[in-house]
Chain A
Amino acid sequence: MSDFFSTLLDEFPQVRAGLWVTLQATVLGALLALVLSFVLGLMAGSRLLLVRGVSRTVVEFFRGTSLYIQLFWLYYAMPPLTGYELTPLLCGVVAFGLNYGAYGSEVVRGAINSVPRGQYEAALALNLTPSRRMRKVILPQAWVQMIPSFTNLLIQLLKCTPLLWLISAADLMTVIQQVRDRTGETLTAYLTLLAAYFVLAYALTLLMNLLERAAKRRLGLDTGAKSLFKSRTATTTVTGGTA
């Protein structure tokens, strides 16, 4: 038991580097996913059939094919086909971003649709341009509704980052498994790894709760400090069709 933890401490620089890879993949992947969510989500609300169709096709494609296959395709299949090679970390960021962007676009679409109809009409009556209507009236209200679902997706994205180990990026999982191989303490190693992910997930949840509170305050809603510690993994994210 103590053998594992003393080796873990000895290897601290590697562990820190592994943690850094995991965090980078999570945060950069999430940022890419966020951008794509808005692009695809807003496109899904377009009046033009072509724009809607493109968004639907992209979303169904990335939700329908498994993330695992997308990641492996980028890492193994793309280089011989195109001559381009991405670093493992970048493969991860792109695959996570595309996959969760597709799921996130449903969140954006749903949240925009759930803003009461009267808000659109009021903005129209005030003669706001479509882009100001979206930015000043619709999105600030929809944003509050999006955050809990985005939190769920973020945790799910974090939970996918151990896949990086399979495409030889030295993430947290890789590093801790190396320590396990050295010490032979399998159970301790995996429990430590699970605990590490649990702590990361909870930390991300707290951050997202802060963000939600700030967004609510802007709308004049205050929820008090208690809601900050609520674990968001408790809600389900099935948004129409596939989960």
Chain B
Amino acid sequence: MNGFDWNAAGEALPLLLEGFRVTLLATVLGTLVAAVLGLAIAVAGRAPSKLVTVPVKAVMEFVRATPLLVQLVGAAAVFSSVEPLTIGIVVLGVHYATYTSEVYRAGIDGVPKGQWEAARALSLPVRRTWQAVILPQAVRNVLPALGNYAISMFKETPFLAVITVQEMVFEARKYGSEHFAYTEAFTLAGLVFLVASYPTSLLMRKLEKRLGH
């Protein structure tokens, strides 16, 4: 019973913000991986051959139905020579790609059938059909959903602390154990998350409304 120590809180905050930079870096790079890989999965999922679509779907379902924490810890243990931050970004990106691919899929399904037919009537090759006709129309509508996944990924970055990435929660735990001030460190860390994620989610909601979702 020692209540809330404001001095400890003042001391912990700069350390937490230092870790927060890593948190943001992991979120941004993880989102990039998820955005690119998700698109690749969505396009591969529409391949004409079942030899491609069935394994892609199976792997996706498996990755999606299993815990991120186990994937992270497992990957870090198997590839123990790779830098933890790299592993974290790749695993986060791959995990979320299985969700974003679903978003792209919906976006691609939303492109009217006539557009495919028109592209074929102009005898565009497959590559150009995707590049010049389908994707420009599909991608526009998926941005708000991608933003939501970025926020959701941001809130899962604390998992990276487990594989010793020195992000904010890692710093909070370190400070907490060194000074026996878990209360202050974790309360502040939670507040930083709230302050960062709430305005972002309001912004995303506005963007969604503007795009008419």
Contacts and interface: CB of A to CB of B under 8 A. Distances in A.
**Chains A and B are bound partners:** yes
A126 interface: no
Contacts of A69: 158, 169, 186, 189-190, 193
Interface in A12-42: none
Contacts of A197: 65-67, 70
A69 B77 CA distance: 24
Contacts of B184: 77
Nearest to A242: B201
Contact of A162 (B67, B155, B172, B173): B67
A186 B190 contact: no
B204 A241 contact: yes
Given A61-B194, A77-B187, A81-B183, A243 B149 contact: yes
A130 interface: no
B206 to A, nearest CB: 10
Interface string B84-107: 000000000000000100110010
Given A83-B1, A197-B70, A234-B61, A65 B151 contact: no
Contact of B190 (A65, A193, A236): A65
B67 A159 contact: yes
| B interface secondary structure, majority | helix
A10 interface: no
A64 B186 contact: no
Contacts of B197: 63-64, 242
Nearest to A82: B1
Given A240-B205, A242-B151, A243-B151, A66 B190 contact: yes
Interface in B172-207: 172-173, 176, 180, 182-187, 189-191, 193-194, 197-198, 201-202, 204-205
A173 B205 contact: no
Tier of interface size on chain B? 35 or more
B78 interface: yes
Contact of A64 (B78, B159, B201, B204): B201
B145 interface: yes
A76 B174 CA distance: 12
Nearest to A163: B69
B81 to A, nearest CB: 13
Contacts of B103: 236
A158 B64 CA distance: 12
A55 to B, nearest CB: 15
A66 B61 contact: no
Given A73-B187, A162-B67, A236-B99, A187 B205 contact: no
A81 B190 contact: no
B2 interface: yes
B115 interface: no
Give the one of B102, B151, B190, B198 with max A CB within 10 A. Answer: B190
Give the one of A162, A163, A198, A201 with max B CB within 10 A. Answer: A162
Contact of B61 (A163, A190, A233): A233
Given A64-B197, A81-B183, A238-B148, A190 B67 contact: no
A235 interface: yes
Contacts of A82: 1
A67 B69 CA distance: 13
Interface of A: 60-61, 63-70, 72-73, 76-78, 80-83, 155, 158-163, 165-166, 173, 177, 180, 186-187, 190-191, 193-194, 197-198, 201-202, 231, 233-236, 238, 240-243
A-B CB proximity, top 8 nearest? A190-B74, A243-B152, A76-B182, A68-B158, A77-B183, A201-B65, A65-B190, A64-B194
9 contacts: A64-B193, A67-B155, A72-B169, A73-B190, A76-B183, A78-B183, A186-B74, A186-B78, A241-B202
Given A159-B68, A186-B74, A238-B149, 4 more contacts: A65-B193, A69-B190, A78-B183, A240-B205
